[in-house]
Structure 1
Amino acid sequence: MDADLYDEFGNYIGPDLASESEDENEYRNAGEDGEDRDRSDEEMEEDKDESRDHPEQANMTVVLHEDKRYYPSALEVYGPDVETLVQEEDAQPLDKPLIAATRKPKFQIKQQQLPDTTYSIEFLSDMMDAPHLIRNIVLLGHLHHGKTTLVDCLVRQTHPYMHSVTDEKPLRYTDTLFTEQQRGVSTKATPVTLLLQDVKSKSYLLNIFDTPGHVNFSDEATAGIRMSDGAVLIVDAAEGVMLNTERLLKHALQERLALTVCINKIDRLVLELKLPPLDAYYKLRHIIEEINGLIALYSDSENPSFVSPALGNVCFASSEYNVCFTLKSFAALYARNHPTLNATEFAKRLWGDVYFNSKTRKFTKKPPHNTAQRSFIEFILEPLYKIFAQVVGDVDTTLPDVLDELGIRLTSEEMKMNIRPLLRLVCTRFLGDMCGLVDMCVAHVPSPLVHAPVKVQHVYTGPVDSPLAQDMINCDPDGRLMIHSTKMYPTEDCTLFVVLGRVMSGTLEANQRVRVLGEAYSRADEEDSRILTVGRLWISEARYSIELNRVPAGNWVLIEGIDRPIVKTSTITDLIASDDLHIFRPLKFNTQSVIKIAVEPVNPSELPKMLDGLRKVNKSYPLLGTRVEESGEHVVLGTGELYLDCAMHDLRRMYSEIDIKVADPVVAFAETVVETSSLKCFAETPNKRNKLTMIAEPLERGLAEDIEAEHVRITWNKRADYSNRKKSCIFCFFNGNATINGTLSLC
């Protein structure tokens, strides 16, 4: 430490100040600088010229601060033809970083590379040119009845790398959205194109639509129904026919689809309900009888097509354990060990009150003895019961002997697996692939070529006898191009959509110029018409897509580049002008959007982003509605709370990426009484035990005014005598003290 820097008390005083002579020298130098500034510009330019001539002197030249140049000017960098703009202040808001991190939004599971399959892509594309070998199928059913899991079985059959997945967690291959995986419920209808084999090992191309089972998303099922030629109605063996099962069955019959039935989850009869084989048979027969009753009720034809295992249009499955068979496919198992057995004739005797007499080796309609079992129980249910019991109960003791009898070989590592994966593996080795389902669809679902006349007559608005309609009826790949689109799917970044359509006639090629007709198109008003260029073409495999150059008639295709003018459905055709050009009918839904919510961005400046997101989410959901009320608020209409919750998630996260305020949901009521009804209206309660007969007559004042005036109390008065009451409403029961002058009566 330097002692001169501190005083005697230890305080820091610093070094001595400069002397007066030094100050004079600094003042003199400053005066010389001032003289340099007073020099004329001409003298300064002369000095600059001298510095150029003598560069060694330029290094010693004093350069002022304003004359210093650290970077080249914009004129030197960009040239005189470029206009440059210099911002003196920061225009970027403070809540955004100067260098934002690169963010790639990802909302769905997608495979970037084509996986290995049991067939080649070339063989798949060649099958698309044979419409008689194509089946377009939609899977319908109630919530959690096993539609997605059944598709997983087909995916495991055609994708060998899936066999190594032995996890007990379900695969849910067609639930591509992360929200679907988290919720455990399908919210989008997803198409899958697979090449499968029937009982005779003949290959067919199956276009399968996996639809949601929740009643709120029945519009997705409607879009799948319009694209298909046949429906597979999936019913839970334990729960039976549910509410949405009946609604979807009725809707499929109205759309004139060929109906087949798959009774799924037969393992629940064994493992959960623990029913004996006879009771399980009665349970299955009751489900089939109930379905036939609904077919007779809702069918328009005089001779409806009923379903029965004996006819071959009913199969039994346990999608969790990879089991699916028809009577014919199960009879083929016996024919392998008994070559003289006729599997077709044997299958006809495996359902109904048919018994096998072991002494005479013949089938009879009467039981040969009191303990005789029906043939379905003896030859199908009891073997399945024994396999389930051996795997679940006696894994280490008697199971190896049973597997040796059946010819099933398992390694020591496979024998140490958990019960569920082990049972799935044993059932797969025993019953083989899902050939029973394929055989049922091939036999009872018509091909696009066969079903084309019915399809065109039902969905085409133009005359059926026109040349254009005849090309669609013949499913002619060389005819006029006609494509009917019903759904759109967002790309990975959710900026654009790909259009899913069915090629009714002609052949669609990549980079082809087409004419897109909207739902409002007519020959009198051709405003809703656009000429666009098709981008790339794909066929959907749920988690990946296969790109093709051309798609002939009878197939489903994903189309790129034509999504902007399409709102819901569309008609896509070529550029050839004709007088017989009409559009396909818009979708006819079996439900309505009755719940509405008002939406508003938290930041008012982000209103354009919200409007763009509303347009995109409107394209994504077939039945979603958006409109602007007279008050100026933006309203979203949906079928239910779960429906709107999914729509708002997509609007916030996928399409607009902003914060949005949502008002409380409101149910839209549209009921009123206009005049006296000439018919008696019957209303039944859900338990089918109470029936109300209502006669509507004019009201002198509005019902809403009576509700606001508290003249009406919405209660269920069990003690009231409704036969003598005349002050009641269709939806409300009035209090006894209420006095209303209206004449709406309840008898």
Structure 2
Amino acid sequence: MPAITPAQLSLLQHNTKNIRNICILAHVDHGKTTLSDSLLATNGIISSKMAGKVRYLDSREDEQERGITMESSAISLYFKLVKSVSNEEAQPKTVESEYLINLIDSPGHVDFSSEVSTASRLCDGGLVLIDVVEGVCTQTVSVLRQAWIDKVRPVLVFNKMDRLIVELQMTPHEAYTHINKILEQVNAVMATFFTGDLMESEARKMTDESKEEDEEFDANKVYDWSVEDRDDSDIYFDPARGNVIFSSAVDGWAFRVQQFASLYAKKLGFKESVLQKCLWGEYYFDPKAKRVILPKHLKGRNLKPMFVQFVLENIWAVYGSVVIEPDRERVEKIVGALKIKVLPRDLRSRDPQILLSAIFSQWLPLSTCVLLAIIGQLPPPIDAQRVRLPKMLYPNIHRKDNDPLEPTNAVEKALYNCDISPEAPVVAYVSKMFAVPVEFLPENRRTQMTAEEMRERGRQQRELRAAQAAADKSGEGIPLDQVNALPLQAEAAEEEPEEEAAEELKGESLIGFARLYSGSIRVGQKLYVMGPKYDPKYPKKHISEITVQSLYLIMGRDLESLEEVCAGNVFGIGGLEGHILKNGTLASTLEDVRNMAGVKMETSPIVRVALEPEDPTQMDKLVEGLRLLNQADPCVEVMLQETGEHVILTAGELHLERCLRDLKERFAKIEIHASEPIVPFRESIVRAELSTNKEKDGVMVPRGQAEIKLSSKFLTLKVQTVPLPNRVTEFLTKHAASIKAVVEEKLAKKTNKEEEEETGDAAPLGTSQLLSASELEQLLKEEFEQAKKEGGPFASLWDNVVDQIWAFGPRRIGSNLLINRIPGYVRKPFFQVDSKKSADVAGDHADEVLKVEDEDASALSILDFDFHIHTGFQLTTLTGPLCAEPMTGVCYIVQGVEFHSEEMVSSSGETIDVRGRLPVIQGHVIAATKEACRQGFLDWSPRLLLAMYTCDIQANAEVLGRVYGVISKRKGKIISEDLKDGTSFWQINALLPVIESFGFSDEIRKRTSGAASPQLVFSGFEMLDEDPFWVPTTEEELEDLGEKADKENLARKYMDTVRKRKGMFVEKKLVEHAEKQRTLKKN
């Protein structure tokens, strides 16, 4: 196919029916970029012989070095489809259709899964690649889930089929059985997504119906408890339906069942549609009866499935004759039977790869098969947006039927129909920002001279030389006007300005990676930019107006200028720098436009590093570089800590390495010093095997209870600390986003009451998937009820505890509770979010407090310290006593605040003006609360919680022992190990502490000589069941370990490491007996 110019591609953007927006999704090293290369070769962008070697879309240097994709890249391809239309009255006619395919290649490494989210959001369909040897891997499930969430229609590609033949040396029948098992696994994954959505929908429907019912039970009403019957047949992969491709991208071939059905239909005397259904599955061909039979009719005959007999055996025969047992005569017979032409030099080539490519490129060309599947199986924008847009505009909305939502206004109608008319409102979604060197932008690119311009320039140079020769002979100079007329002299005069311009072109420009859903965008047009937090309730917040500076057609590493972009296309847009941080929505109007930018990333950054420039005078360059990095990377987070340190948070070790490289070479362009990776911990408490009570001043006090008297001696604070039940802690961690929404709603009712009255009481966008305050309250009560039923020493403490919740912490949303049990002080239930004031309470706390006994305006009251007790709790849970890390699973019960009236009278008998000293006393209350919480925490047995990775490794039996050795050395533990059916590969699942993971991947690869490569996914926090303050106390412990307990205390080691890094006190003896030092020199 000839090369297509960008101008021709831009013309195709107006025909939305012939546009396909697709992404390639897969686990790392399953062949995405190699497949992309074969598709690019069809447009003449690269040579077909170099497909799979160039890795054209891996434009970064480190991508080429490592051989993996790190950033999603887009390119537009052209495909012409020629169809023959049969007509009974005339000869069959050929109809040509031109298609524009916007292809996005996404990374497969787990560290860059945020790039997969940005890619799938822009696409309508996807190619999901699976290595047929490795099968379904962790990232395979992740990308399938992402496609399901974004309603991207997938086509399954079984890649690396050649490995079954050459590497595993399977027979065709064994290969069929192996592929069938993988297909069943993939369909099982799709079924879990479908079932999960269905059950969630049913649960919400039942909740809604229960709210609508009257409190009285209607005995005559019929209650429907059946699960809604939905058709799920269209979500599964089936080769007979055409949504499964079998391929070998490295050898350049691919096929679908349809191709062999059309090939054998006439030979076998079947209809093509019938044969297509029988070429996959347990169908057998009876050669005597010339018919297809099922397994029950085999009657002991050794027949092969039709897919094996008519498809796989032919491919195995080619590999057998070319690679496994080279036989030139057999190859010539195969070439003749296939009616293809192979050059004699290819037949004589000693490299079997050349001959394989020559045969398969004509018999089963990969690009043709994949492009036909894209056009036939994946929807155009006009069809896809009717399915995808309701989900994007109304996330997880509950519907009693499965019918698509109907548009409710003109904007939604234009979106659903992909309206490209000039009158249609412009609505676009910017998925991410990516950086491009300014000198590579089309407007700054050097233009190539035309042939006519080159001829004219040559003529002028010849004239100049002739005039110079004539002047030398006559002794006269060249006239000044003649010299000025020559462009050669003009260029010399402009050398200095060009050097200045070159300096200006050294830098990075941020371009928006976007998809237009409605209308047409033109250069110079004014648009509104809505950030992810934009809410129509507050139309002046998180919104700005821009002028479109440039539009681009994205062609991999190159950009081509456009004047206009129509709906249904993926494009680049300039002029968003400073207006969009990560993602956003563009619109020409604010009326009825919903925000589409609230996308949750699957991977949260967990590894943080503090940065500083090698040269302190270059700090401004580092700050600017961090700003560019923060916008150009959808997953990285940049923070400025209170200590003044600049910190970046990344998804993993490889992501961190890429970010540091980008900072040094592209964004900051300075030498940077990075600290050791900083890993988060959590602090908690458990009930150790000690007495539950302790003695204080001769009185037995419950464990965890602390009484702190203020330094001013005006009041005493009494707080009891207890560990929360595990099920409650897990619930609070899981629903942190819902708690945050409740807190924000309460704060909004306090701070924006006037604005609310003007704008109405609409619910925040994008929160329909969160639990409401009432739902959260009810579920939390159920969790505490279950904890009470399980028993334990604290079961009685959980009576009516939900109504007594004062606050969550840290940051108001954590998994720690502050409970109010102060006698005579009743606060409003936490989950009651209405803003009605109590008639009995005056002042700033009237929204939260229902009742205060013995309130005296002249003396101190609990109301004066409500906020400060809460602040002390938040500070304590944010920085625990072990190593100043956040707490989890701790409950603090405020049991009393006792005022000492006798301390409010001076020695001379005068009453002290405590109201005048209130700010000082309030500061003391914060400190006292922190100290009470700290003492109560340390009264229990403290524990550290480690951030953990789930580690998935595939390795053969030869290197299995080495893999186990590295995991054990890194303090990991094996969860499961399974032998993959039909292969010699073991699938190992393990848990690995994040703090021990740095250098883990490199060590695994070195120890196994590259035979094993791990995938690390953050899985949460797990308790290290070891007391950092443990010392041997019993006779057995002292006898086994001695007084010093030389056994390594891992929790103490981690705690001291963090304390040392934070500049906190570390109890460590450098010299224990100075007088007993050994001499280094011995006789």
Give TM-score scaled by structure 1 length: 0.74
Report SS of the residue matched to 2:192: helix
Alpha-carbon distance, 1:434 to partner: 2.6
Corresponding residue for 1:82?
A: none
Report SS of the residue matched to 1:600: strand
Alpha-carbon distance, 1:697 to partner: 6.8
Please tell me whether residue 731 in structure 1 is matched to residue 731 in structure 2: no
Alpha-carbon distance, 1:591 to partner: 1.7
Please tell me whether residue 283 in structure 1 is matched to residue 283 in structure 2: no
Query: Greater RCO between the two (CA within 8 Å, min separation 6)?
Result: 1
Please tell me whether residue 448 in structure 1 is matched to residue 357 in structure 2: no
User: For the Cα contact (< 8 Å) 2:342–2:358, is it kept in 1?
Assistant: no
Alpha-carbon distance, 1:413 to partner: 2.4
Please tell me whether residue 384 in structure 1 is matched to residue 315 in structure 2: yes
Counterpart residue identity of residue 566, structure 1: I
Report SS of the residue matched to 1:502: strand
Superposed CA offset, 1:582-605 (max 9, x none): 321322211211111111111111
Cα distance between partner residues in 2 of 1:520 and 1:680: 28
Cα distance between partner residues in 2 of 1:205 and 1:170: 25
Superposed CA offset, 1:292-349 (max 9, x none): 11111122244431111122211111111111211113323446x7597643322111
Counterpart among 490, 502, 509 of residue 435 in structure 2: 490
Cα distance between partner residues in 1 of 2:607 and 2:13: 42
Please tell me whether residue 156 in structure 1 is matched to residue 41 in structure 2: yes
Please tell me whether residue 415 in structure 1 is matched to residue 707 in structure 2: no
User: For the Cα contact (< 8 Å) 2:36–2:105, is it kept in 1?
Assistant: yes
Alpha-carbon distance, 1:549 to partner: 2.1
Alpha-carbon distance, 1:572 to partner: 1.4
Counterpart residue identity of residue 517, structure 1: M
Cα distance between partner residues in 2 of 1:569 and 1:316: 36
Identify if the C-alpha distance between structure 1 residues 160 and 258 changes in structure 2 by more than 3 Å, giving closer, same or farther.
closer
Counterpart among 286, 289, 302 of residue 357 in structure 1: 286
Identify if the C-alpha distance between structure 1 residues 342 and 198 changes in structure 2 by more than 3 Å, giving closer, same or farther.
farther
Corresponding residue for 2:364?
A: 431
Please tell me whether residue 321 in structure 1 is matched to residue 245 in structure 2: no
Uncovered stretches (5+) of structure 2, i.e. residues with no partner: 84-95, 199-229, 396-405, 439-506, 686-722, 732-786, 791-887, 892-935, 945-969, 975-1020, 1035-1083
User: For the Cα contact (< 8 Å) 1:461–1:584, is it kept in 2?
Assistant: no
Please tell me whether residue 653 in structure 1 is matched to residue 665 in structure 2: yes
Alpha-carbon distance, 1:123 to partner: 4.7
Corresponding residue for 1:47?
A: none
Counterpart among 271, 278, 291 of residue 166 in structure 2: 271
Cα distance between partner residues in 1 of 2:628 and 2:598: 19
Cα distance between partner residues in 2 of 1:289 and 1:645: 38
Identify if the C-alpha distance between structure 1 residues 715 and 514 changes in structure 2 by more than 3 Å, giving closer, same or farther.
closer
Identify if the C-alpha distance between structure 1 residues 236 and 507 changes in structure 2 by more than 3 Å, giving closer, same or farther.
same
Corresponding residue for 1:96?
A: none
Report SS of the residue matched to 2:47: helix
Corresponding residue for 2:71?
A: 188
Corresponding residue for 2:966?
A: none
Counterpart residue identity of residue 450, structure 1: D
Corresponding residue for 1:533?
A: 547
Corresponding residue for 2:600?
A: 588
- After superposition, residues 109-188 of structure 1 pair within 5 angstroms as 117-119=2-4, 121=6, 123-159=8-44, 162-163=47-48, 165=49, 170-188=53-71
Report SS of the residue matched to 2:430: strand
User: For the Cα contact (< 8 Å) 1:226–1:587, is it kept in 2?
Assistant: no
Counterpart residue identity of residue 40, structure 2: V
Alpha-carbon distance, 1:424 to partner: 1.8
Counterpart residue identity of residue 191, structure 1: A
Identify if the C-alpha distance between structure 1 residues 352 and 197 changes in structure 2 by more than 3 Å, giving closer, same or farther.
farther
Cα distance between partner residues in 1 of 2:650 and 2:532: 20
Counterpart among 581, 584, 591 of residue 567 in structure 1: 581
Aligned residues: 596
Counterpart residue identity of residue 641, structure 1: E
Please tell me whether residue 507 in structure 1 is matched to residue 520 in structure 2: yes
Identify if the C-alpha distance between structure 1 residues 562 and 732 changes in structure 2 by more than 3 Å, giving closer, same or farther.
closer
Corresponding residue for 1:90?
A: none
Corresponding residue for 2:843?
A: none
User: For the Cα contact (< 8 Å) 2:684–2:942, is it kept in 1?
Assistant: no
Alpha-carbon distance, 1:631 to partner: 1.4
Identity %: 26
Identify if the C-alpha distance between structure 1 residues 526 and 218 changes in structure 2 by more than 3 Å, giving closer, same or farther.
same
Corresponding residue for 2:622?
A: 610
User: For the Cα contact (< 8 Å) 2:268–2:290, is it kept in 1?
Assistant: no
User: For the Cα contact (< 8 Å) 1:198–1:435, is it kept in 2?
Assistant: no
Cα distance between partner residues in 1 of 2:889 and 2:610: 35
Q: Which of the pair has more CA radius of gyration? A: 1
Corresponding residue for 1:723?
A: none
Cα distance between partner residues in 1 of 2:973 and 2:169: 43
User: For the Cα contact (< 8 Å) 1:461–1:585, is it kept in 2?
Assistant: no
Identify if the C-alpha distance between structure 1 residues 570 and 432 changes in structure 2 by more than 3 Å, giving closer, same or farther.
same
Report SS of the residue matched to 2:337: helix
Identify if the C-alpha distance between structure 1 residues 480 and 306 changes in structure 2 by more than 3 Å, giving closer, same or farther.
same
Alpha-carbon distance, 1:120 to partner: 5.5
Cα distance between partner residues in 1 of 2:632 and 2:280: 45
Identify if the C-alpha distance between structure 1 residues 161 and 623 changes in structure 2 by more than 3 Å, giving closer, same or farther.
closer
Alpha-carbon distance, 1:659 to partner: 0.7
- After superposition, residues 307-318 of structure 1 pair within 5 angstroms as 307-318=237-248
Superposed CA offset, 1:625-678 (max 9, x none): 001112111110011000010011001111111011101112223575873245
Please tell me whether residue 344 in structure 1 is matched to residue 393 in structure 2: no
User: For the Cα contact (< 8 Å) 2:433–2:511, is it kept in 1?
Assistant: yes
- After superposition, residues 654-733 of structure 1 pair within 5 angstroms as 654-669=666-681, 675-678=724-727, 698=890, 701=937, 706=942, 730-733=1022-1025
Alpha-carbon distance, 1:411 to partner: 1.8
User: For the Cα contact (< 8 Å) 1:325–1:435, is it kept in 2?
Assistant: no
Cα distance between partner residues in 2 of 1:408 and 1:154: 22
Greater mean alpha carbon deviation, residues 496-505 or residues 437-446: 437-446
Cα distance between partner residues in 2 of 1:244 and 1:203: 34
Superposed CA offset, 1:143-166 (max 9, x none): 100111111111112217613x45
Uncovered stretches (5+) of structure 1, i.e. residues with no partner: 1-115, 683-693, 709-713, 719-728, 741-747
Report SS of the residue matched to 1:731: strand
Report SS of the residue matched to 2:434: strand
More helix by share: 2
Counterpart residue identity of residue 364, structure 1: I
Counterpart residue identity of residue 530, structure 1: S
Counterpart residue identity of residue 529, structure 1: I
Alpha-carbon distance, 1:548 to partner: 2.5
Report SS of the residue matched to 2:240: coil
Report SS of the residue matched to 2:282: coil
CA RMSD after TM alignment: 3.2
Counterpart among 388, 412, 416 of residue 469 in structure 1: 412
Greater mean alpha carbon deviation, residues 658-667 or residues 535-544: 535-544
Cα distance between partner residues in 2 of 1:703 and 1:624: 39
Cα distance between partner residues in 2 of 1:672 and 1:470: 53
User: For the Cα contact (< 8 Å) 1:191–1:541, is it kept in 2?
Assistant: yes
